Amino acid sequence: MKKVPIMLSLILVIILALLSCDSNDSTGISSTDNTNMSSNTGVSSNIDTSINDSDMDGMNSVIICEKYGNHVYFAFEEKKTNYYASISNIKEKDDFNTSSGEKLEGDYEKIIIAPPEFPEDEKSCFKFIETYDELTTYISSPNVDASVLENNYIICIKENFYLSGGWKKYFKHLGYSDFKFTDNEYEISRSCYFSVENGGVHLDILEPVTMVNYLIIPKTEIDFVEGVHKIVVNNNQINGDNGLWTDDFLGGNENPLPPSTDTHIALTHNEKAVLPNEAAAWVVEKESELERQLGLDSNGYSKGDYRVILYLPNEPKCDFIITEKEIKNGNLYLTVEEYSQYTNEYLSKNDVKFYDIYLQDTSALKEGFDVYILVNEIYVD
């Protein structure tokens, strides 16, 4: 009979030890109910997040005391842009195949071309397109008709610039805006961003990039001028640095890689790990048991011993970047820009569910922190 108090004492000690480590699920995987706004991110509302004990076999072998988030909340807003509408070709590449299936690459390359009078130097330039017939000599089947010229001008802009070779394929053009003539020169702004992908080798070799675009600009904004003219293109880059390494003559930037500076990076994970059915977040210590159990790949760009990992049960179907990060009252606030015109290129490579959001200092996050994500939905013509 004296063994009963002893057993009760042992049980009490075990319970206290567990509570001192964390009052929630010892894996750091929250199973609390959460209601998120329905969206095209695939995160649905009123999800059953219960996890059976049998599903957790092997996950409780080590008690994990790492900080994690209880809830992730989404809010969505449509963000207006002032980009000029661009003219594209309504024919796809496959429309220029022969009956045998052979691709006529030469014909396809001529679907959108620059006027022949444009110089071949590295300066950016533009000219007005005076008639619809002239437009069709450069774009074989434009997505506008002649009526567009009633209230608008069409200009062709040929832009020449340089990108670091390693980031050239991640460069995404969003649009042009704010065409003007000041101080005896023409100017226009170009908005762009760098898409995010996992890892890779990124060279510091500069490579030339040439873009040709045909823009529709209201006649109330500009005055017509004949001929080809030089133009200064002001770069409005949404995220990251200039994609260059830390060479002094290139600026000596301490954070040269665009995904590691402003935004996030996609991570692979252990597909056998038991995951919640709703969005979640963790503060994960590098080389910890939680990192091992989730099977998260290492990330050499984060400088600290801890990193904030955002988990989404379903992949967003379009590209996105994180533009703002802030910790307030122990909770994390993120602002995301979502680009419907671009698809996440890494979706075809792996089932992306985890993202390192590159929050260098996690100390201000409280236990059971919440994550509030404002998604600005960007639509570009």
Distance CA 377, CA 78 (A): 5
pLDDT score recorded for residue 254: 53
pLDDT score recorded for residue 202: 52
* Model confidence pLDDT, tens digit, residues 235-273: 998 876 544 444 444 444 554 444 445 678 888 888 888
Distance CA 235, CA 73 (A): 33
Is the full-model pTM beyond 0.85?
no
Please state which of the ranges 80-89, 226-235, 287-296 shows the lowest mean pLDDT.
Answer: 287-296
Distance CA 376, CA 374 (A): 6
CB burial string 190-219: b at 16+ within 10 A, e below:
bbbbbbbbbeeebeeeeeeeebebbbbbee
Provide the mean pLDDT of the chain. 73
* Model confidence pLDDT, tens digit, residues 5-35: 444 343 333 333 333 333 333 333 333 333 3
Distance CA 375, CA 79 (A): 9
pLDDT at 160 over 60: yes
Compute the half-sphere exposure of residue 86: CA atoms within 13 Å on the CB side of its CA.
18
* Model confidence pLDDT, tens digit, residues 368-378: 999 999 999 98
Q: What are phi and psi of 82, to 5 degrees?
A: -110, 30
Q: What are phi and psi of 98, to 5 degrees?
A: -80, 170
Q: Which helix (H) or strand (E) segment is 6 a member of?
A: helix 3-21
3-state secondary structure 343-356: CCHHHHCCCCCEEE
Distance CA 149, CA 262 (A): 40
Q: Which residues pair with 265 in a beta bridge?
A: 356
In percent, how much of the chain has pLDDT > 90?
34
Distance CA 30, CA 68 (A): 8
Mean pLDDT confidence for 93-99: 43
What 3-state DSSP class applies to 290?
A: helix
Where do runs of H (alpha helix) occur along 22-122?
105-109
pLDDT score recorded for residue 331: 96
Mean pLDDT confidence for 205-225: 92
In the chain the beta strands, taken as DSSP E runs, fall at 69-79, 85-86, 125-129, 152-164, 171-182, 185-194, 206-218, 229-237, 265-267, 280-285, 306-311, 319-328, 331-339, 354-356, 369-378
Would you tell me how many other CB atoms lie within 10 Å of the CB of residue 23? 10
Distance CA 331, CA 281 (A): 11
Distance CA 154, CA 172 (A): 23
Q: What are phi and psi of 222, to 5 degrees?
A: -140, 165
* Model confidence pLDDT, tens digit, residues 100-118: 444 434 343 345 788 999 9
